[in-house]
Structure 1
């Protein structure tokens, strides 16, 4: 299972540098590459709006 970023994302960038696998890419909202995500939850722990959620 991987994390996905929902529509609540405000593109603040808090998650991207914290991802140990480099699975997060910026855009209008950030996107998590499910092939790289190891389900560690680090992104969710730093997100101010709880946008990353388990798939």
Structure 2
């Protein structure tokens, strides 16, 4: 049984990204990453909530 549905053309338009997001980054790095690594080394359990490719 095929449950895949095709969206109408009205729903397939690209959504323009707001200029307010131009400086938003999702990569976890810098001081936040360094602190998380330090805490892990001390034995703390860190819940990683990164998004994107595994």
Q: TM-score scaled to structure 1, two decimals?
A: 0.18
Structure with the larger RCO, 1 or 2 (CA within 8 Å, 6+ apart)? 1
Q: More helix per residue: 1 or 2?
A: 2
Q: TM-score, normalised by structure 2?
A: 0.18
Which structure has greater strand proportion? 1
- Rg larger in structure: 2
